[in-house]
Structure 1
Amino acid sequence: MSEDTIRVVICGDENVGKSSLITSLVKDTFLKIKIDNVLPPISIPRDFSYSPYTPNSTLLIDTSSQDLTSLQAEIRKADVIWLVYSDHYTYERTSLYWMQMFRSMGVNLPVVLSANKSDLQPKENKKDAKDSKDSKENKDSIITDEFIPLLKEFKEIESCIRCSAKENYNVNQAFYLCQRAVTHPISPLYDPKEMNLKPLAIKALKRIFFLCDKDQDGYLNDNEFLHLQKKCFHKNIDLNELNNIKFSINESLKLLNKENNDNNAKKGNINNNNNNNNNNNNNNNNNNNINSTYKSNKINSNNYITEEGFIMLNRLYAEKGRHETIWGILRTFHYTNSLSLDGNYLVPKIDIPLNSSVELSPIGYRFFVDLFTLFDKDNDGGLNDNELNNLFQPTPGIPKLWQEFNFPMTTVRNEKGNVTLQGWLAQWSMTTFLDYKTTLEYLGYLGFEDAGTLTNSNNNNLRNNNDNISGFYDNDNDNTNNNGYYIVTPSLRNKKISTSAALKITKPRKIRYKNNNKYRASINDRTVFNCFLLGSSGCGKTSLMEAFLGRSFSELYSPTITPRMVVNSVELRGGKQCYLILEELGELEPAILENSKKLDQCDILCLCYDSSDPDSFRYLIELVKKYFSDNNSNINDNTRFNGNFLNNIHGKFTTTNISSVNNLNTLNAHNNGNLNINDNNRDGNLIKNNNNTNDNNSNYNFNFSIPMVFVGLKADLDKQQQRCEYQPDQYIKKILCLKNNVSLHVSSSWPSSLNELFLHLCEVAQRPNLSTPGVESPLDNNGNSKGGDENLLTTMVVFGTTIGFLSVISVWVWKMSIAHK
């Protein structure tokens, strides 16, 4: 089917009335047409239907069984086949020839079967009641003897209908069935052989029942049922009609229980023949099972609808040929014809600017808070395994991203091991930050578009409408708040909300430059930060992560092989709350540090060492030198030097204030004579270090903009002198040029030091410039700043501004003095 047109191909043997059916449909009258004539394609425009699934036009294609090549070509282009027969001979050929031909062609199209020329059947004599009874029995025999066997044998046959082109009987209905076979197919929903809904349809309807059960009590009360109908069909309900629906469900369930009862009785008789000694016991057990089944299948004592009753209601719709109603429900909840959720609904397209991150919006946090409260049935402030399973029932299960990092070990739990509300929100904050598409998918699965109705609803304010409307309808609740529904904002009342409304896109991260090094600008609109924990094996990173989640220290050492993440909330100074993600890289540390995309997701590097191990800090020095400096790499666009300038003139380089010509020759030889200038160096200059002190071999040329924080762990043990060229504080201040930073010393047994560390990490992530290596001016041997160029530029700007201001004042005074004269 194209987006606007349905192609209906009319097939059948000669002289069954194919062309006559088309003319009767179009002209509304019967026309005699020669047998050899084939009508040209006829397009029928859309009627007054407002359904978005009604096609703009329907194209009727007449065919001849003699021209097999043309017939098969049209069938391959068809959306639905209208197969016509008119007598016993042509009826037999439907199964022996036509259906076999369709299958041999490899097409899987819906087929609408029409028994034409019903006017040739015996007519009903209204004056004779006996004749009327015989006519009815004749119609029933046609359905039983002709239609039912074909429906059971060929799943492609969607529906069957008797019609007459001569009397214009059921012609419009047959045409409608052809349209419906494409727009509202029955084959995905109902299995005529099993006489039941298909498993995928049952699964989808169970999810819909789950989402509509707002108070999660296992029943659809009147308000919940009416809200579902209002949402799906936008119509009000008659109170008597609602009671009739409940009555139909109850009677159908009784009939189903009776059939199950008979089957159990037959099985019981067989068992009795095999074992007469247990006859009485078996009969008693059967009776007890039947009674319990009947009780469970009743609507319930409050006359509410159970899940099984809701499935039975839709089964009744399918059996009575009203599967448009089922599709109306399914499509309201974004199901496609394959009974899978629409991909555009689960993951709507969102444009994420470069260097921006995605977080939950206030509405998103409110939705997850409501979910937590709704499924915390025991009100213990935590979600246990059973409650989590119930919560994720309408979804594919716990997200794969969570399973990769061993949820719930990734977040905060209480003493019983249940996920707390703090941990629940932190987990979703981390998920949104790392992979917002996963959050969007689960928002769709969990029914976020109805986020305004996530609390208990009361059974009141049912409107008694006198409109005689049959079907499945809802109450038009204007006073939604009075019915117990939670509304996020008045503007969201009774409106569908896109899942993208639950997300917030932060401003793009900006890069600044200072001392010819880049750093990230301060941010104030983000609340989720990602921190990499780096350090040698056994230095205490895992214990730090456990302490971050409030867990006790364990003496057992377990090396981290695969990457591990934990997340928790941190309260900043001033009361603002943010979420911090700590990630230990494990054996994948080299690969991740060499991946620029992974580093872009990192907001801060926490470099950890064991303060009681004299060899621990050496690992960090080698790590920084290997991955975060340009000393061991070829000069590229990100290369920067400390010292004098090389001026780029049309791709050729001249030197100024070069202390040694050999230095320039060495520089050119290092890059084979080709130097690439970083676009971010506004003057196109490269800086070369001309400092001949002992620090010359230790200064690094930093090519990244991630802030660093150094942490000495196990501070409760004796502090050891590090066996390396520089001690931690000396290395931080002198080599990394972080003159306002020192190494923090924390211990799992010092809670206050841990809190201060996590707070410091968040503050550094918000203001990265003060902890980014190379941004501050380097220190000389006496510990004083050597940033001459930067200080000189600042002094010149201040001096120039002052001179300009004094000049303006002087001119103004001079003009005023002239004016007075």
Structure 2
Amino acid sequence: MGVYRGGSANKRNVRILLVGDPGVGKTSLILSLVSEEFPEEVPPKCEEITIPADVTPEQVPTNIVDYNATEQTDETLEAEMRRAHVVCIVYSASDQESLDRVVSYWLPLIRECCSEPRNHDGDNVQYQMKPIVLVGNKIDLVDTSTIDNVLGIMEEYPEVESCIECSAKTLKNISEMFYYAQKAVLHPTSPLFIMENQDLTEACKQALIRIFKVCDIDGDGLLNDYELNHFQRRCFNAPLQPQILDEVKAVLQHNVPNGIENDSVTLKGFLFLHILFIQRGRNETTWAVLRKFGYDENLDFSREYLYPPLKIPSTSSTEISHRGTRFLTHLFDRHDKDRDGALSVKELANVFSACPNGLPPWGKGKNCCDIVPTNEMGWLTHHGWLCQWTLLCLTNHLKYLEYLAYLGYNIHENDSQLTAIQVTREKRLDLAKKQTSRNVFTCHVIGPQGSGKTVFCQSFIKDDPQITNPKSRRSKSKSRTNNSSTSAEEKVFEESPRYCVNTVQVYGQEKFLVLRDVEVRQITDPLMPDEVNCDVACLLYDTCDDKSFEYIARIYIKYFAQSSIPVLIVATKSDLEDVRQDYVLQPDQFCAKYNLLPPQRFASGSKNIIGDSIKDVYVKLATMAAFPRFQAAWILFYKHRFVQLCQHATHLKYFGLSPDEPLLWWKAGLGLAAASVVGYFVMKIFSSNTTSSSTFR
């Protein structure tokens, strides 16, 4: 049977219940604590006592509750046990029978009354137990100690946190007794330590291993002086004095083989230090470390630590902040041991070894090379690494915050993960200003099956995407309305990556573009709201399939004609022979009617049909997303200055606006230059006249 017990430094109060056989001195202990003298007359039962926070060692208000078997029923006792945070079982050090009753009656009663199943793991049922302190009163009446007998009880009952002998008459250890009771609640032992084995629990060990890895800034498997000082400052807001550091190393050198290596603390030594803290009754030290790193009383991550509250308007999005990018870059560099600019399978596993499941947030089965740019081995480069995290932050900000906590962002940045995320301006404000400050844009790629969506998306991150051959794509497109399509075809479709992420330059600024391949199983299937809402829509049709354009035409009219979402129509497989589309309007006519840019021709390969780079279409999509409702910016953003026009002529060419006659641009440039010169001299003369007139006033 596993045992878990509640306990938290964040409790608003501590409720202590004293139980035991009649005559053991329960009421006397309470009255001696309050009055600081032994009462000559003791009532049958003491009323509930409240001790203010400012007079308790842990600065927590404490309620002390007495029990009397004559005045209270068994039902009342059980109710008080459940309400209490800790139960002190009092026995008389001068009465062996009262100690025997601790084992035969009181401990089983408390277990039966207060233990609740916490979780089930096969036959191993784990229970949440009530912490208990054994109190041997009337120590002034005996010459021998009962502690040796009690230690055996502690091994048998792990919920027993501590034992103490005291005397209500001489006031010996009275305040210490109630301090131990507070500690049993706020800094419990059993989640951390197995008394019979004198070793850390597995949960505590795993938590401390993660903490060690997070604090190992240079990733060498050791904690050097700088890392130990960083750890000390983060946990206790104070530096580690050189003398104390030397003493710690000396203790490890003497007690732990391989506890010190290269004058640094090893993992083995780090774990031993915490065993030492607990054995010496300094549980609060280990708990302070655990809580600083996000663990709750059951050594699970607290929800508040993983998911700090963040308000996101419905039309806003989430992006990685500058501090978040800096942390992720440092994390990448720290684990790129061979400095080849990419994370191998082993290096990537080491990054996430500090996480509970040891897996990246995008899952073990995900092939990164189908989602973000990678090297020829399929390993994440630094660029692909940031793309992957950008996608996570955009699509699942809670998991993004969760994994930053696992990886130690809070410790290294000494701040909440909220500083690693940026909530963008609401889209309605972007539309009103006809531009956006966002750095991440979502493009939904929509088209019938077989139109080449997967190739289009994969071409964004690969120079030579290897998906399926054109024949198989066309055959799938022609059979898209056949309800008896093979499961193999569906499997190929389902295995296609849903997202592809890369960066593009929009007028000299790097922007992330996220392509989402919107699934279309039947041509009659409606699109869901989340499949429509995006920053820019890319509607694909197959130039070789006469039925292909009709689908996206209907999609545009139904979902986008009245919306503010920019739309670009892309004609795929443009390296093959076009066929006339079986629709009332041909693609060029359709675009002209709805005031859309002409269809962008696209074919997988290094060059598209009109000789432009295959990547041009993605720049065009990102530019349209960056300047919604402002088509002039899609085309003429840099025409106002001739020098910039020359520098960004390539960007304008993405929109099909490079003139056939270069002379036209020279004339325009010379005209702009002449106008600038004339304007300069006019302003010069005007300025001179103004100065002269002011002189003779």
Q: 1:556 and 1:564, CA in 2 relative to 1: closer, same or farther beyond 3 A?
A: closer
Aligned partner of 2:397 in structure 1 is: 436
Aligned partner of 2:581 in structure 1 is: 722
Deviation at 1:314, TM superposition (A): 0.6
Correspondence for 1:624 among 532, 552, 556: 556
Does the alignment pair 1:74 with 2:77? no
Please give the per-residue CA displacement for 1:667-720, whole angstroms capped at 9, x wherever unaligned.
Answer: xxxxxxxxxxxxxxxxxxxxxxxxxxxxxxxxxxx4433221111112222233
- Structure 1 distance, partners of 2:408, 2:434, is 37
Deviation at 1:182, TM superposition (A): 0.8
Does the alignment pair 1:708 with 2:567? yes
- Structure 1 distance, partners of 2:517, 2:34, is 72
Deviation at 1:565, TM superposition (A): 3.1
**Range that drifts further, 73-82 or 611-620:** 611-620
- Structure 2 distance, partners of 1:20, 1:591, is 82
Does the alignment pair 1:760 with 2:620? yes
Question: Which letter does structure 2 place at the counterpart of 1:74?
Answer: E
Deviation at 1:350, TM superposition (A): 1.3
- Structure 2 distance, partners of 1:729, 1:238, is 76
Correspondence for 1:161 among 157, 161, 164: 164
Aligned partner of 1:792 in structure 2 is: none
The answer to whether the Cα contact below 8 Å between 1:117 and 1:165 also exists between their aligned partners in 2 is yes
Aligned partner of 1:84 in structure 2 is: 90
Larger radius of gyration: 1
Correspondence for 1:325 among 276, 281, 285: 285
- Structure 2 unmatched ranges of 5 or more: 1-6, 116-128, 470-488, 633-697
Paired residue secondary structure (2:553): helix
Correspondence for 2:457 among 529, 545, 548: 545
Does the alignment pair 1:502 with 2:420? yes
Question: Which letter does structure 1 place at the counterpart of 2:80?
Answer: E
Aligned partner of 1:147 in structure 2 is: 150
Correspondence for 2:48 among 23, 41, 44: 41
The answer to whether the Cα contact below 8 Å between 2:538 and 2:567 also exists between their aligned partners in 1 is yes
Q: 1:429 and 1:590, CA in 2 relative to 1: closer, same or farther beyond 3 A?
A: farther
Question: Which letter does structure 2 place at the counterpart of 1:596?
Answer: P
Paired residue secondary structure (2:134): strand
Please give the per-residue CA displacement for 1:174-222, whole angstroms capped at 9, x wherever unaligned.
Answer: 1100011111111211122332111111111111111111111100111
The answer to whether the Cα contact below 8 Å between 2:502 and 2:512 also exists between their aligned partners in 1 is yes
| Aligned pairs, number | 581
The answer to whether the Cα contact below 8 Å between 2:405 and 2:417 also exists between their aligned partners in 1 is yes
Q: 1:575 and 1:371, CA in 2 relative to 1: closer, same or farther beyond 3 A?
A: same
Aligned partner of 2:445 in structure 1 is: 533
Matches within 5 A, 1:327-406: 327-396=287-356, 397-401=358-362, 406=367
Matches within 5 A, 1:534-613: 534-554=446-466, 556-557=468-469, 559-561=492-494, 564-587=497-520, 594-600=527-533, 602-613=534-545
- Structure 1 unmatched ranges of 5 or more: 123-137, 255-296, 453-495, 513-518, 630-701, 773-821
- Structure 2 distance, partners of 1:307, 1:166, is 48
Deviation at 1:380, TM superposition (A): 0.6
Matches within 5 A, 1:754-793: 754-769=614-629
Aligned partner of 1:30 in structure 2 is: 38
- Structure 1 distance, partners of 2:246, 2:552, is 74
The answer to whether the Cα contact below 8 Å between 2:18 and 2:89 also exists between their aligned partners in 1 is yes
Deviation at 1:368, TM superposition (A): 1.0
Aligned partner of 1:487 in structure 2 is: none
Deviation at 1:593, TM superposition (A): 5.2
Deviation at 1:404, TM superposition (A): 7.8
Paired residue secondary structure (2:569): strand
Aligned partner of 1:62 in structure 2 is: 66
The answer to whether the Cα contact below 8 Å between 1:563 and 1:586 also exists between their aligned partners in 2 is no
Correspondence for 1:240 among 239, 243, 253: 243
Q: 1:252 and 1:415, CA in 2 relative to 1: closer, same or farther beyond 3 A?
A: same
- Structure 1 distance, partners of 2:521, 2:228, is 52
Q: 1:581 and 1:389, CA in 2 relative to 1: closer, same or farther beyond 3 A?
A: same
Aligned partner of 2:131 in structure 1 is: 110
The answer to whether the Cα contact below 8 Å between 1:709 and 1:771 also exists between their aligned partners in 2 is no
Question: Which letter does structure 2 place at the counterpart of 1:152?
Answer: E
Paired residue secondary structure (1:65): coil
TM-score normalised by length of structure 1: 0.67
Deviation at 1:332, TM superposition (A): 1.5
Aligned partner of 1:426 in structure 2 is: 387
- Structure 2 distance, partners of 1:526, 1:449, is 25
The answer to whether the Cα contact below 8 Å between 1:561 and 1:587 also exists between their aligned partners in 2 is no
Question: Which letter does structure 2 place at the counterpart of 1:90?
Answer: S
Question: Which letter does structure 2 place at the counterpart of 1:713?
Answer: T
- Structure 2 distance, partners of 1:90, 1:443, is 53
Please give the per-residue CA displacement for 1:748-777, whole angstroms capped at 9, x wherever unaligned.
Answer: 2234432210000011112233679xxxxx
Please give the per-residue CA displacement for 1:62-116, whole angstroms capped at 9, x wherever unaligned.
Answer: 2113333343332222111111111211000000011122123234311100111
Question: Which letter does structure 2 place at the counterpart of 1:77?
Answer: R
- Structure 2 distance, partners of 1:722, 1:753, is 26
Question: Which letter does structure 2 place at the counterpart of 1:507?
Answer: R
Paired residue secondary structure (2:454): helix
Aligned partner of 1:731 in structure 2 is: 590
Aligned partner of 1:781 in structure 2 is: none
- Structure 1 distance, partners of 2:99, 2:542, is 87
Aligned partner of 2:14 in structure 1 is: 6
The answer to whether the Cα contact below 8 Å between 2:355 and 2:407 also exists between their aligned partners in 1 is yes
Aligned partner of 1:286 in structure 2 is: none
- Structure 1 distance, partners of 2:412, 2:545, is 53
Q: 1:723 and 1:337, CA in 2 relative to 1: closer, same or farther beyond 3 A?
A: same
Paired residue secondary structure (2:619): helix
Q: 1:590 and 1:121, CA in 2 relative to 1: closer, same or farther beyond 3 A?
A: farther
Aligned partner of 2:199 in structure 1 is: 196
Deviation at 1:520, TM superposition (A): 7.7
The answer to whether the Cα contact below 8 Å between 2:259 and 2:268 also exists between their aligned partners in 1 is no
The answer to whether the Cα contact below 8 Å between 2:370 and 2:497 also exists between their aligned partners in 1 is no
Deviation at 1:13, TM superposition (A): 0.9
Paired residue secondary structure (1:709): strand
Deviation at 1:344, TM superposition (A): 1.6
Q: 1:40 and 1:79, CA in 2 relative to 1: closer, same or farther beyond 3 A?
A: same
**Range that drifts further, 12-21 or 580-589:** 580-589
Question: Which letter does structure 1 place at the counterpart of 2:54?
Answer: D
- Structure 1 distance, partners of 2:456, 2:273, is 56
Aligned partner of 2:27 in structure 1 is: 19
Correspondence for 1:303 among 241, 246, 263: 263
Deviation at 1:406, TM superposition (A): 4.2
The answer to whether the Cα contact below 8 Å between 2:368 and 2:378 also exists between their aligned partners in 1 is no
TM-score normalised by length of structure 2: 0.78
Deviation at 1:9, TM superposition (A): 1.0
What's the % identity of the aligned pairs? 33
Aligned partner of 1:486 in structure 2 is: none
Q: 1:408 and 1:191, CA in 2 relative to 1: closer, same or farther beyond 3 A?
A: farther
The answer to whether the Cα contact below 8 Å between 2:391 and 2:501 also exists between their aligned partners in 1 is no
Deviation at 1:3, TM superposition (A): 4.7
